[in-house]
Structure 1
Amino acid sequence: MVLFSCGTKTKEPAGGGKKRPAPKVDGFVIKTEAFSETIEVPGSVVANEVTEIHPEVSGRIVSLNVREGQYVGSGAVLAKIYDGDLQAQLRKLQSQLNTARLNENRAAQLLKIQGISKEEYDGTLLNVRNIEADMAIIRTDISRTVVRTPFSGKMGLKGISPGAYVTPASVIATINQTSTLKLDFSVPEKYTSRIYNGQIVTFTTDGNDREYAARVAATESNINETNRSLTIRGIVNGGTAGLVPGSFAKVKVQFSPKSNAIFVPTNAIVPTAKGKQVILAVDSIAVFNNVETGIRDSSRIEILSGLKSGDTVLVSGIMATKPNDKIAIGRIVNQ
């Protein structure tokens, strides 16, 4: 005997009748904070004044008084060029001047008694004036044979020896005025509006652990088109012991603090072809929002626009989240 059942089998809905719950993700609540940005750029220590010392005329060095590595005053004599020929010309002109003055005196006496015309007297006077002018020229040439320091400072190494024949192209020595030192450095174009005269920067040099300070005194009149940076010059404040002109410097520039800066963890940023985005949690819905970023460090990145205080951004499950997905905040990482 074969028995058959009269019961009917109920068909279960697809998916077992269970709705998939929203995935849990970690969130980061946006809060503003005070922040002062600091950048580090390369620079150079430079002397207040520096110049190569050249002779004004050609000739043989008969005296050399370059004190290498020593401090000298302004106008100190460094070298003397042979001027024997000029001295001879000066003596010759002096003799001519003495004779011309005698002739001028005689002509003046004759003019008083109308022995000569006024025109003849003027000729003798003109001769005196011409000789005096020639002597002034020779004296100027003689003074140019003496090489002096243009300002006080520290002498470098001499580039010539006594007896050498020099020309205006010859370098006798270099002098640096180190009583005041300057600091030259450059900042990227985007920071130019945040640099101002009187701003204090700090710097260090290789082989010296001391930190120095400098006050911004001037900026270049234009931005360098090659590297898009602005050259800045500062005056070193306080002691300059240990600093040598030409030294490489690591310059730290600290800008005025922002009172409402916004930072998010770097893993909250979603790179796109058109920029950067973050995922906002809005009423348990994932909303992709464009942002503009600023500076960053190893764990955080600044948001310049696109977020406000109180917003919640996702910091986990980002790769699996799509626009308008249902989400559930499981944990706030900054609370």
Structure 2
Amino acid sequence: MRLRSVFILAAVIALAAAALWYGTRPKPVAAVLWTVEKGRVEATVANTRAASVSACRRAKLSPSQGGRIVALPVREGQRVAAGQVLLEIWNEDLGAQLALARAQVESSRSRAEQSCRLAEVAEHEAARAQSLHLRGFVSLERAERSASEAKASRAGCEAARAEGEQAQARVRVAQAELSRSVLKAPFAGVVAKINGELGEQTTPSPPGIPTPPAIDLIDDRCLYVSAPIDEIDLPAIRIGMQARISVDSFPGRRFAGRVRRIAPYVLDVEKQARTAEVEVEFVEPKEAGALLVGYSADAEIVLGVHEGVVRVPSAALLEGKRVLVVRESDTVLEERAVETGLANWEFTEVTRGLSAGSRIVVSLDRAGVKAGARIEPEAAAMPAAK
């Protein structure tokens, strides 16, 4: 009876101790888990500041001489062909000079024709006088005089021809002067901006003093993104690398791109964050047809790709390339060092230390989430696998 009482007392004490332990033990910490998987990992770099959509060709045009605008046959937003007249300034004086130069050409041509016909006649007479002299019918003096007259006539002919060439040159000069008063499209495109109205004066920009162009012409058939890339990332970028372009005005849509140019110098506008411009063209220009020059954009350049590799969310990595792994037997966290490969903002490749199927913590910012803690798992809310 006494022994039985001892057993009962021991059992009561054990139950009390168990209840005390259960009541005072640390509560599980809620943590978001991620099941390690295999998939695609890319190494990428992106612009450090806002990039923008630019046109492959853009010309800010002004007439090479000032004057009053007398013709403005285009409007903003209009498509124009190469060589089409965009603007014309008053040029009646230049037109008159051209007409005068052409008249001088005709006059010079007539004088040259007359002089050269006379030269031919004189040369014929000189040859005849020489023949008669050899047969003794005319004197040597007359033969020599005929020869001199023929040479003089020929010189007059050549002078008249030279005068005609000078007149032709004056026509070309007048045409050049007249063409300077007419502004034509150097390529096919869209008139983006017109600065000026009929009757207003327009002047070219003085050297070193920028002024608004008369016509801003854009070739929107070819667009690219000009992206400022940090100088640290530049050595890894090569012409022809694939890229992804996103435009703020088209959320959720990505355009295929390709690196077409890397600037040969680094900008030092911001001393502490120096960048170089990298141009990314659209692989399918038709897809960019709805974009406007000047849209803000971002360019993500793909440096390398690994397919079918073990990967974890980049946010799950602790300093020193460590992760918190769930011990499946008791849901206690343990810290594990890993070796990594390619990485981006979303995923990091794990080359050693983890295998597919392991569960790791991705909510590292929660209080109490550390090695040795017991957790209460929550479903992960991570990007879909790519």
| TM-score category of the 2 structures, normalised to the smaller one | 0.5 to 0.7
Structure 2 residue aligned with 1:160, among 190, 193, 196?
196
Does the 8 A contact of 1:63 with 1:80 survive in 2?
yes
Structure 2 residue aligned with 1:103, among 102, 111, 121?
111
Does the 8 A contact of 1:296 with 1:302 survive in 2?
no
Residue 94 of structure 2 is matched in structure 1 by 86
| Partner Cα separation in structure 1 for residue 172 and residue 101 of structure 2 | 10
Which residues of 2 match residues 198-213 of structure 1 at below 5 A? 199-206=242-249, 208-209=250-251, 211-213=253-255
Instruction: Give the secondary-structure state (helix, strand or coil) at the position aligned to 1:197.
Output: coil
Tell me by how many angstroms 1:160 deviates: 0.7
Identical counterparts, % of pairs: 18
Which letter does structure 1 place at the counterpart of 2:255? A
For the pair shown, the structure with the greater C-alpha radius of gyration is 2
| Partner Cα separation in structure 1 for residue 316 and residue 263 of structure 2 | 41
Tell me by how many angstroms 1:202 deviates: 3.7
Q: Does 1:145 align with 2:181?
A: yes
Alpha carbons of structure 1 residues 260 and 224: separation in structure 2 relative to 1, 3 Å: farther
Residue 281 of structure 2 is matched in structure 1 by 234
Unaligned runs of 5+ in 2: 1-35, 124-148, 206-211, 269-273, 324-335, 378-386
Alpha carbons of structure 1 residues 297 and 107: separation in structure 2 relative to 1, 3 Å: closer
Q: Does 1:219 align with 2:261?
A: yes
Instruction: Give the secondary-structure state (helix, strand or coil) at the position aligned to 2:288.
Output: coil
Does the 8 A contact of 1:61 with 1:80 survive in 2?
yes
Q: Does 1:36 align with 2:41?
A: yes
Tell me by how many angstroms 1:71 deviates: 1.9
Tell me by how many angstroms 1:55 deviates: 0.8
| Partner Cα separation in structure 1 for residue 190 and residue 202 of structure 2 | 23
What do residues 45-76 of structure 1 show as CA deviations (whole Å, max 9, x unaligned)? 11232111211222221111231122222222
What do residues 23-50 of structure 1 show as CA deviations (whole Å, max 9, x unaligned)? xxxxxxxx89444136654421112321
Does the 8 A contact of 2:245 with 2:297 survive in 1?
no
Tell me by how many angstroms 1:126 deviates: 0.8
| Partner Cα separation in structure 2 for residue 228 and residue 293 of structure 1 | 26
Tell me by how many angstroms 1:200 deviates: 4.4
Instruction: Give the secondary-structure state (helix, strand or coil) at the position aligned to 1:156.
Output: strand
Does the 8 A contact of 1:160 with 1:171 survive in 2?
no
Residue 306 of structure 2 is matched in structure 1 by 257
Tell me by how many angstroms 1:212 deviates: 3.6
Which residues of 2 match residues 293-308 of structure 1 at below 5 A? 295=343, 308=353
| Partner Cα separation in structure 2 for residue 33 and residue 186 of structure 1 | 33
Tell me by how many angstroms 1:138 deviates: 0.6
Normalising by structure 2, report the TM-score: 0.58
| Partner Cα separation in structure 2 for residue 301 and residue 36 of structure 1 | 7
Tell me by how many angstroms 1:134 deviates: 0.8
Residue 156 of structure 2 is matched in structure 1 by 120
Tell me by how many angstroms 1:95 deviates: 3.2
More helix by share: 2
More strand by share: 1
What do residues 207-240 of structure 1 show as CA deviations (whole Å, max 9, x unaligned)? x335141320413154636425561322262433
| Partner Cα separation in structure 2 for residue 102 and residue 296 of structure 1 | 81
Aligned-pair Cα RMSD in Å: 4.4
